[in-house]
Structures are given as C-alpha cells and as structure tokens.
Amino acid sequence: MEITEKEIDHLAELSRLYVEKSDVGRVSSRLGEIISYMDSINGSVKTDDIDEGFTEAELMPREDVVCGSFDVAALLESCPEHTEDTPTVPRVVD
C-alpha cells in the first residue's frame, strides 16, 4: 500500500509532529511496508464469527473515596516554565 505525501501530512498533523520534507520518502516507505504486511492478513483470516461486543481488560475500579493529592510545588519542579502555582505556555489570546 502506498502512503502519499498528503496522507503523511495529515497523520503528522493529527500526531502534532513535524515530518521534514526530506524525511517524507523514508516515513512513507516504512509505513507502507508495515501496512502492506498488515494488509496481507486482512483478506486471509475471517473474523465474522467473533463477538464485537467485548472489552479486553477486566477493570477493577477502586472504592469511590477521596485520596491524597500530589503537592503542587513538587510537581512544578519538573515543569519547564511555571508561575508559583501553574505551568505557563505561550499566550493563546491577545
């Protein structure tokens, strides 16, 4: 399956990644190779008989009680840019 430059651009946008023009060929060929391999099973293995209404994980929800929270100052130590109590980002609204 061929992955076009337009499709790569779309995937990159959804992924919030820049794919350099010079790298499009490499990415397209790697993705195409893997997707072709995936395509090889699509036609050959039947899945019509499998119930679609399933969940994979057995979720074990905890009791609905209030637990302790993290210390904001400790969390902000790992934050690249912040005020005293919150991370900061470039201005969104002028």
Which residues of this protein are in contact with another protein, per CB under 8 A?
3, 7-8, 10-12, 14-19, 27, 30-31, 33-35, 37-38, 40-42, 44-45, 47, 50-52, 54, 56-63, 70-71, 74-75, 77-81, 87, 89-90, 92
Least distance (Å) between residue 83 CB and another protein: 13
Least distance (Å) between residue 94 CB and another protein: 11
Looking at the Cβ atoms of 25 and 35, the one nearer to another protein is 35
**Token pair 């900061």: residue:** 88
Least distance (Å) between residue 84 CB and another protein: 15
CA distance 55 to 77: 38
Question: With contact defined as beta carbons under 8 Å apart, do 24 and 4 qualify?
Answer: no
Give the count of beta carbons closer than 10 Å to the beta carbon of residue 3: 19
Write the CA distances from 52 to 43, 46, 49, 56, integer angstroms. 18, 13, 9, 11
Looking at the Cβ atoms of 25 and 87, the one nearer to another protein is 87
